Structure 1
């Protein structure tokens, strides 16, 4: 009888009140709640199995003892936990933990300050090197621009000088008669042929 009661209690614990929905239609039909009972079970009366009063009393007593024992153990564990929490917050353990945390915080702050100083020095050194490189780059750029300007000025001066030299041979209204006389006195023949090497191969005779 005890086994039957325990088995039923185990089945009640394992029973799922919200079964999973059916994914497929069952192969055999099932009755709904509104269908009448079968003829063979029309007069059947469901009677629960008989329970032995002595066995039921023993089971109830054992359940009561179980609940008392578990409650006492749980209370002991809770008291121990609360005592530890109190010691950690207000007792010697809490003070030691606070002092250790403060010491660790101080060490971390010192390490942080040292790292900040080291990084600041590295940053300043990098900035200094970048400033020096920037000044050198600007100086080289200025020198390059100055050399380009000097080269440009020299080229323009050469062009001006060449133009001044060429201007001496220009024909102006003042020396027009003189140049005409020079051309008549020194005739030139531009009617000639050249070979592949650029040498004059044939020249016509001036009339």
Structure 2
């Protein structure tokens, strides 16, 4: 008996689903019919009002008028395009001239720098030690020794040479331009 109740409930559920599906299908079909009715009415209204029958002569005249209008538009657009292209070519030519002028100026400046370097090197070449003046250069270097060693105390006194004693004892250097430059640099940094 319990088994029959389950069968009965199952049948009721199936009937409910089929009924709901059928109602849904009817609603969809009703919506489609209404849409098609409105579409047919719209087509009937627009085709009767918009459709004007022309004779072949009228159609030929209308076609010729449309062709003339199209040719006029094409000519106008072609003139505008040619004018635009001419302006573009002029602008590009001016830009190219400017670039060439800038490149020429840069090249001239580069050549001037190169010539200046060559002039300086030629001047320095006069002081280079060659095989011919090697003996003279050695004699000059031995006759005039240069000592680049120096120390500076807290007061800014400069002690030149290797003969200064540790602790700042020794003779302060008083020899000219380089010492004053070092002194000015020390004062500027303080």
Q: For 2:102 and 2:152, locate their aligned partners in 1 and report how far apart those are by CA, in whole Å.
A: 47
Q: Secondary structure of the residue that 2:116 maps to in structure 1?
A: helix
- 8 A Cα contact 1:192 1:200, kept in partner: no
Aligned counterpart in structure 2 of residue 148 of structure 1, from 103, 106, 117: 106
Hey, what does 1:26 align to over in structure 2? Answer: 15
What does 1:158-173 align with in structure 2 at a 5 Å threshold?
158-173=116-131
Greater helix content: 2
Q: Is the 8 A contact 1:192 1:204 kept in 2?
A: yes
TM-score (norm 1): 0.48
CA distance in 2, matches of 1:114, 1:155: 61
Greater radius of gyration (CA): 1
Residue 138 of structure 1 corresponds to 96
Please tell me the root mean square deviation across aligned C-alpha atoms, in Å.
Answer: 2.7
Deviations 1:114-144 (A, max 9, x none): 1111011011111111111111121112112
TM-superposed deviation, 1:98: 2.9
**Cα pair distance change 1:26/1:155, threshold 3 Å:** same
Structure 2 matches for 1:104-115, cutoff 5 A? Answer: 104-115=62-73
Structure 1 unpaired stretches of 5+: 1-23, 28-92
- Higher relative contact order, chain-length normalized (CA < 8 Å, sep 6+): 1
Q: Could you list the runs of 4 or more consecutive aligned residues of structure 1 that deviate by over 6 angstroms after TM superposition?
A: none
Aligned pair partner of 2:149 in 191, 194, 197: 191
Tell me, which stretches of 5 or more residues in structure 2 are unaligned? Answer: 1-12, 17-51, 164-190
| SS state at 1:25 partner | helix
Please state if 1:100 is matched with 2:89: no
Q: Is 2:170 the counterpart of 1:181?
A: no
* Bigger shift: residues 184-193 or 111-120: 184-193
